[in-house]
Amino acid sequence: MSIYIENENNAKFDFDYEQVITDVINEAVDYVNCPFEISVEVTIVDNAAIKAINKEQRDIDNPTDVLSFPMVNYDEPGQFEFLEDDDNPAIYEYFEPDTGELMLGDIVISSEKVYSQAEEYGHSIKRELGFLVAHSMLHLFGYDHMEEDERAVMEAKQSEILDRLGITRD
């Protein structure tokens, strides 16, 4: 498994944020029973940077807390069977040629939003960071929250991932 973490704005955390990110990613992979070794990139930025990315990618001219850029197009969220079909040459675009890892995608997190939302929601910064990583990992596994039923499924899965790690609301 390859997890690449870049803190572009040198955000400061009073805990080992890289370990929290790594733990949440590993737990999310286990939670959805992903049968592959994976590769994911996480970039921590400030509000100005995430606003620019949000504008460029989604035509939304506001900062957001997290952006997810999945590399895999799932038939069904969290279902990996189609990636095991050796007769489908299209699946090979999802795997890193040198390592054979499934390239899940990229996560971009605003450190400023981590801090402000932790205060707004009355929980720890660690919990907010963990939540955003869990949320984004579910997007990388094909889950979404555009419809009410999808939102409920995602919220339950996010909570279960964080509960399994003991990262709960304070």
Is residue 97 in some structural domain? yes
Is residue 56 in some structural domain? yes
Taking a C-beta distance cutoff of 8 angstroms, is the pair 43, 111 a contact? Answer: no
Helix (H, G, I), strand (E, B) or coil at 68: strand
Domain with residue 129: its CATH number is: 3.40.390.30
Q: What is the pLDDT along the chain (170 residues), one digit of tens a residue?
A: 999 999 999 999 999 999 999 999 999 999 999 999 999 999 999 999 999 999 999 999 999 999 999 999 998 999 998 888 877 777 889 999 999 999 999 999 999 999 999 999 999 999 999 999 999 999 999 998 777 788 888 899 999 999 999 998 76
Contacts of residue 3, defined as CB under 8 A and 6 or more positions apart, other chains included, come to: 21, 22, 25, 39, 40, 41, 42
**For residue 132, what pLDDT is reported?**
97
User: By residue range, what is the domain housing residue 130?
Assistant: 2-165
Is residue 170 in some structural domain? no
With 0-12 / 13-18 / 19 or more C-beta atoms within 10 angstroms meaning exposed / middle / buried, residue 139 is buried
Please tell me the total count of domains within the chain: 1
Is residue 87 in some structural domain? yes
Instruction: Cite the beta strand spans of the chain per DSSP E.
Output: 2-7, 38-45, 66-70, 102-110
Residue with tokens 């054979």: 100
Is residue 19 in some structural domain? yes
**For residue 163, what pLDDT is reported?**
94
**For residue 170, what pLDDT is reported?**
64
